[in-house]
Structure 1
Amino acid sequence: MEEPAAAPAPAAHVPRDGAALETRGLTKRYRGGQLAVDRLDLRVPRGSVFGFLGPNGSGKTTTIRMAMGLIEPTSGTVEVLGAPMPRSARRVLPRVGALIEGPALYGFLSGRDNLTRFDAADPTADPRTRAARVGAALDRVGLVAAAGKKARAYSLGMKQRLGLAAALLQPRELLVLDEPTNGLDPQGMREIRTLVRELAADGTTVFLSSHLLDEIEQVCTHAAVMAQGRLLTQGTVAELAGLAASARGRLAVTTPDTADAVRVLKEQGVTDLVAAFDRVTGELPDRDAPDLADLNAALVGAGVRVRAFGRERASLEDAFVALTGEGFDVAG
């Protein structure tokens, strides 16, 4: 029942007021009638690390593209840092860093020269401090040693790092990341997760689209789940996992006396009992469920040696399955 402790995510309580990104009735219908996003009401609190989840074709990337002013919505509104998009794009986007659908790089330029070009394209960037900014961004994503190599020779993971470095050339109020750990090895994934936590601690709001549910659990304070263009739910990660816990009501008991535990739990109304090694799990009834303290007392009273007792830990994956009725499509 116990899992290795993951590095703690940032605290779910976000004291800053307002939303870094907010949509109201946001809808996108493409030619031919395809409805990609359907009346989306999404709110990303300032200071949060917000996970954006959904299977392939759920509308996540379309939503991000509308938020960044890359495409216009069919109807509804989207505000970024309190300003309407795309009307305020020129004023808002310099305060936003984004890595969407993979980095667009000049393959014939080195990593350092790519960042220099990106920085030069920013009208708010001071050219006198450009070299320092580029060096700091390369250092932050671990690419100093490869800075002189042509981008076309970079691995997929290195390209992801360089794209993230481009998003971090300037201090950002909002960072939008679409699959930021794509192509990275496990060490690289850990480094990017650590970087996200550091950025959040510095006050940057991070909006993170990912198909890696454990990634969302480890680094995000809040999350939203989409399917077929519609928002299914949003809230803190703990709240979403709680939906799954209440939906399944799964009980887990660690004991060397598994046969006796199964007998007692069955007498108490627990169903779907499964015993494996020194662990018994079962389903608590939806209605008139026995009190957990009473169940524990019944086990102890029957002479069952209880080493651990309680509800199984619910994960974000459990919440996703409970909400959508399907497994997570890793191509999403």
Structure 2
Amino acid sequence: MDQPPATEPHPEGAGDSVIHTRALTKRYRGGQLAVDGLDLTVPAGSVFGFLGPNGSGKTTTIRMLMGLIEPTSGTARVLGRPMPRATRAVLPHVGALIEGPALYGFLSGRDNLIRYDAADPTADPRTRCARVASALDRVGLSAAAGKKAKAYSLGMKQRLGLASALLQPRRLLVLDEPTNGLDPQGMREIRSLVRELASDGTTVFLSSHLLDEIEQVCTHAAVMAQGRLITQGPVTDLAAKGRLVVTTPDTGEAARVLKEQGAADVVITEDRVTAEPPEGELADINAALVEAGVRVRGFGLERASLEDAFVALTGEGFDVAG
């Protein structure tokens, strides 16, 4: 790997952030407020899901982070440096796929990547062909490498755009709707690739409107709606707390025992009793039910999904297709 330039951002510690914004705001001409006072923190080494319905301000935020547009107010730091002022120092360490790939339709997929790589002043021309071949292989386009890009399907173009972001090792990978246009198999392949990149130490910032996608691959997430940040944190913390579910014909007695054990919000429905679980070991609660003579046919936590959490936070849902 090439030695980093003297202007390389200072390395982050394990607990530091690779993206940090403070009151980041973008108002377009005519008064449209696209991003409103965004305070965002992306931990180093995370797969960070940037979640929200179309039109929530995700792409505008990414364009500000990458120095493509200037914020109206507020600040953004990427890899420890202010953006857009430090664009030249930061971008060589960032791979990005934003608003779909820009391709030369008359060139083959391979030649498009060669063009991308040749435009990178840090790229070693001696290893260009090998890196292009490796990037094509990683996104499953080796067999179509010689085909002109204008003949590519939407999903193939998306793969080629992702390949362009993988030509060099990157400290941060920013992907805006990377599975757009892909079939279910292609989605699974891209998700697997994201996990692989993260395991190699790359921080991945993944924008999507697909709740299922975020839940499957991300360690952390933020939820946007109408230009504002609703919440952010580890994905496991964002999902609503699981409910304790007991299946039994003795619902009344089970409800009584659960209340004695400290469970809250106990609800009886037919042969099920659900409750907000109390502190302590679930095994002890199960034992208390059995000791009270409750015939327990099913016992466990029923986890809520990220969709449940989003609806609870915003009062609305959006595309959850995988």
Q: Say whether residues 1:311 and 2:301 are aligned partners.
A: yes
Secondary structure of 1:171 counterpart? coil
C-alpha change, 1:267 and 1:291, in structure 2 (3 Å) is farther
C-alpha change, 1:216 and 1:263, in structure 2 (3 Å) is same
Secondary structure of 1:145 counterpart? helix
Separation in structure 1 between the aligned mates of residue 197 and residue 136 of structure 2, nearest angstrom: 15
The offset of 1:308, in angstroms, is 3.6
Aligned mate of 1:263, from 240, 252, 259 = 252
Separation in structure 2 between the aligned mates of residue 35 and residue 294 of structure 1, nearest angstrom: 52
Contact kept? 1:26, 1:78, Cα under 8 Å? yes
Contact kept? 2:212, 2:320, Cα under 8 Å? no
Contact kept? 1:55, 1:330, Cα under 8 Å? no
1:250 aligns to what?
Answer: 243
Equivalent residue runs for 1:33-52 within 5 Å:
33-52=31-50
Equivalent residue runs for 1:72-221 within 5 Å:
72-221=70-219
The offset of 1:303, in angstroms, is 3.6
Separation in structure 1 between the aligned mates of residue 229 and residue 320 of structure 2, nearest angstrom: 19
The offset of 1:259, in angstroms, is 3.2
The offset of 1:110, in angstroms, is 0.8
Contact kept? 1:250, 1:281, Cα under 8 Å? no
Separation in structure 2 between the aligned mates of residue 291 and residue 194 of structure 1, nearest angstrom: 35
Contact kept? 1:56, 1:329, Cα under 8 Å? no
Amino acid at match of 2:295: R
Deviates more, 1:206-215 or 1:69-78: 206-215
Separation in structure 2 between the aligned mates of residue 215 and residue 148 of structure 1, nearest angstrom: 31
Separation in structure 2 between the aligned mates of residue 200 and residue 98 of structure 1, nearest angstrom: 15
Contact kept? 2:194, 2:204, Cα under 8 Å? yes
C-alpha change, 1:291 and 1:220, in structure 2 (3 Å) is closer
C-alpha change, 1:60 and 1:323, in structure 2 (3 Å) is same
Percent identity of the aligned residues? 78
Separation in structure 2 between the aligned mates of residue 49 and residue 291 of structure 1, nearest angstrom: 31
The offset of 1:297, in angstroms, is 4.8
Amino acid at match of 1:197: R
Deviates more, 1:200-209 or 1:291-300: 291-300
Amino acid at match of 1:273: I
Contact kept? 1:97, 1:174, Cα under 8 Å? yes
Structure 2 gaps, min length 5: 1-11, 260-264
Structure 1 gaps, min length 5: 1-13
Q: TM-score, normalised by structure 1?
A: 0.84
- Could you say what the CA RMSD is over the residues aligned between the two structures, in angstroms? 2.5
Separation in structure 1 between the aligned mates of residue 193 and residue 211 of structure 2, nearest angstrom: 18
Paired positions, count: 304
C-alpha change, 1:252 and 1:150, in structure 2 (3 Å) is same
The offset of 1:302, in angstroms, is 5.0
Deviations 1:111-130 (A, max 9, x none): 10111111111121122221
The offset of 1:330, in angstroms, is 5.8
